[in-house]
């Protein structure tokens, strides 16, 4: 077969765009394929944060951080389960990737603290701006042919090498290298039931295109799968039509994390059930154990005053405007807004406030920080008050194909599948049993660039 492209990238989210741009900058002829109506994938549904360390934004904010501290936090967040070589690769390349993204039009906003960070290192963006900037680069690059609203069917292999893919109509498309950037499988009930049956009550909120085709195509060639046992839901996904737990057509569940600014989380009984400074992945699991798998984030005006447009998980005002937050002048009236017992909610908040006032920490669950040891919890005492009905949602799966440091997909015999690379959410081995906010987008950009560069190098050798 005559080959028109050196590298084919399947999936046009953040990882796919970074892979395509890097491969093209290395001189390869690239096809970027996406089945969705618009490029962006799950990146557009994310909070838009990147986890970087020792950046200019941190220095300007007076935050002392280092790559070594970032690595330690990532390992801790993973429950010591992450592949050390992938963590080291992330740490080695994260600084230059931050500058690479800025050089390609990505705008970073005010530094923030988020889940599993020992210091503020969340570098917020507006997801739509990120993808618009990178897609503009893709469309302007003559070496990249973007194909939207179409998809691959199967990978083609000759001997030990991947040599292309087939279209759904049976036509074959040859390529020297394939990069899988097809995301996760949060929208595939069959795969979720197989690998994460405990998430049966979780809300399905990932990208509509995330059904796991990349996993299946690579799995068919013997690719190894890792981190499948650690699939976690995400706490803080909005219940748009509470008390209903289902989403109607056109609804878009958002992620809101007022807990890391000082909010508490209560269940349908009006009682706290967790140390809110923990990872929102861990809180997500505990939320599923609560009555009806429903929780409420409760906070006051001084936390509302910290609302910002980015990361979107801290955009409380927008959530209020959309009717996803309820507000009242008293805690009793706030409880009545969502059907909680008024006296129980008041007692819960009063106990929490009394603990903070007397000891600076919570005696019930041991909360002593805003998040991962950073920041002091605050009293919830300034009216008006706010309450946010939420649940655990499967936004991303963060598990999948085992890769090496070149982003080559590795098979069950620990051998690279020649010509096959992966990047983004489809890559397993990095997050392990937990998750640091911003590491998913960071991983997508860093590993996407590496996959694209390595795929281009293989194409040139061939």
High-pLDDT (> 90) share of the chain, %: 90
Give the Cα separation of 432 and 27 in Å (integer): 35
Q: Residues 12-37: what's their mean pLDDT?
A: 97
Q: Residues 313-320: what's their mean pLDDT?
A: 96
Residue 3 has pLDDT above 60, yes or no: yes
Among the ranges given (36-45, 169-178, 233-242, 334-343), the one the predictor scored with the smallest mean pLDDT: 36-45
Look up tokens 């002593």; give the residue: 368
Q: Where are the beta strands (DSSP E) in 205-254?
A: 225-226, 234-238
Give the Cα separation of 377 and 374 in Å (integer): 9
The pLDDT value recorded for residue 139 is 97
Residue 266, Cα to own-chain centre: how many angstroms? 24
Which tokens go with 180? 């899988």
How many residues are listed for the chain in this entry? 462
For the stretch 93-141, pLDDT in tens is 999 999 999 999 999 999 999 889 999 999 999 999 999 999 999 999 9
The pLDDT value recorded for residue 248 is 87
Going by the DSSP 8-state scheme, the letter that residue 200 receives in this structure is: G
Question: Cα separations (Å) of 71 from 53, 81, 285, 397, 441?
Answer: 9, 13, 25, 21, 16
Look up tokens 């939320």; give the residue: 287
- Give me the chain's average pLDDT, please: 95
Give the Cα separation of 229 and 147 in Å (integer): 34
Going by the DSSP 8-state scheme, the letter that residue 258 receives in this structure is: G
Work out the angle between the directed axes of helices 67-77 and 84-103 (0-180°, nearest 10). 120
For residue 323, give every residue at least 6 positions away whose Cβ sits within 8 Å of its Cβ, in sequence order, or none.
Answer: none
Give the Cα separation of 252 and 204 in Å (integer): 11
Give the Cα separation of 47 and 49 in Å (integer): 6
Helix or strand (DSSP H, E) at 180:
strand 172-180
For residue 158, give every residue at least 6 positions away whose Cβ sits within 8 Å of its Cβ, in sequence order, or none.
Answer: none
Give the Cα separation of 30 and 455 in Å (integer): 10
Which tokens go with 247? 């989403």
Count CB neighbours of 136 within 10 A: 12
pTM: 0.92
Count CB neighbours of 348 within 10 A: 24
Helix (H/G/I), strand (E/B), else coil: 145: strand
Helix (H/G/I), strand (E/B), else coil: 188: coil
The pLDDT value recorded for residue 2 is 60
For the stretch 420-436, pLDDT in tens is 999 999 999 999 998 89
Going by the DSSP 8-state scheme, the letter that residue 247 receives in this structure is: P
For the stretch 377-386, pLDDT in tens is 999 999 999 9
| φ and ψ of 161, to 5 deg | -115, 140
Give the Cα separation of 201 and 313 in Å (integer): 22
């Amino acid at each position: 077969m005559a080959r028109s492209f050196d590298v084919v990238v399947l999936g046009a989210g953040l990882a796919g765009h970074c892979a395509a741009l890097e491969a093209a900058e290395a001189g390869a002829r690239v096809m970027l394929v996406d089945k969705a109506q618009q490029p962006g994938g799950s990146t557009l549904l994310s909070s838009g944060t990147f986890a970087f360390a020792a950046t200019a934004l941190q220095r300007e904010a007076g935050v002392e951080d280092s790559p070594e501290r970032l690595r330690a936090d990532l390992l801790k967040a993973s429950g010591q389960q992450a592949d050390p070589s992938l963590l080291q690769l992330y740490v080695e390349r994260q600084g230059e990737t931050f500058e690479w993204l800025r050089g390609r039009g990505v705008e970073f906003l005010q530094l923030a603290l988020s889940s599993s960070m020992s210091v503020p290192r969340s570098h917020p963006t507006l997801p739509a701006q990120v993808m618009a900037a990178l897609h503009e680069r893709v469309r302007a690059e003559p070496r990249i042919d973007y194909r939207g609203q179409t998809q691959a069917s199967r990978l083609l292999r000759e001997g030990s090498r991947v040599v292309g893919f087939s279209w759904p109509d049976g036509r074959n498309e040859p390529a020297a290298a394939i990069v899988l950037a097809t995301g996760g499988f949060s929208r595939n009930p069959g795969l979720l039931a197989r690998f994460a049956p405990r998430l049966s009550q979780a809300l399905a909120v990932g990208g509509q295109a995330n059904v796991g085709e990349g996993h299946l195509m690579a799995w068919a060639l013997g690719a190894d799968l890792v981190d499948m046992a650690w699939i976690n839901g995400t706490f803080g996904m909005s219940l748009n039509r509470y008390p209903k737990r289902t989403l109607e057509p056109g609804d878009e569940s958002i992620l809101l994390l007022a807990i890391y600014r000082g909010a508490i989380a209560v269940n349908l009984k009006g009682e706290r059930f967790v140390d809110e400074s923990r990872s929102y992945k861990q809180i997500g699991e505990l939320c599923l154990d609560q009555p009806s798998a429903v929780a409420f984030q409760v906070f006051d005006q001084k936390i509302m005053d910290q609302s910002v447009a980015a990361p979107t998980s801290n955009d409380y005002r927008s959530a209020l405007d959309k009717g996803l937050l309820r507000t009242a002048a008293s805690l009793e009236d706030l409880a009545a807004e969502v059907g909680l017992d008024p006296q129980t909610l008041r007692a819960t908040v009063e106990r929490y406030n009394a603990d903070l006032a007397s000891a600076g920490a919570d005696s019930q669950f041991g909360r002593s920080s805003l998040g991962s040891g950073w920041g002091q919890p605050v009293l919830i005492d300034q009216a008006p008050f706010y309450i946010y009905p939420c649940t655990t949602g499967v936004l991303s799966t963060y598990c999948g194909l085992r890769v090496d440091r070149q982003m080559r997909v590795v098979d069950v015999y620990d051998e690279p599948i020649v010509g096959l690379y992966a990047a983004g959410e489809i890559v397993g081995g990095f997050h392990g049993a937990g998750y640091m906010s911003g590491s998913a987008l960071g991983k997508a950009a860093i590993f996407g660039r590496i996959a694209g560069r390595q795929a281009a190098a293989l194409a040139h050798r061939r």
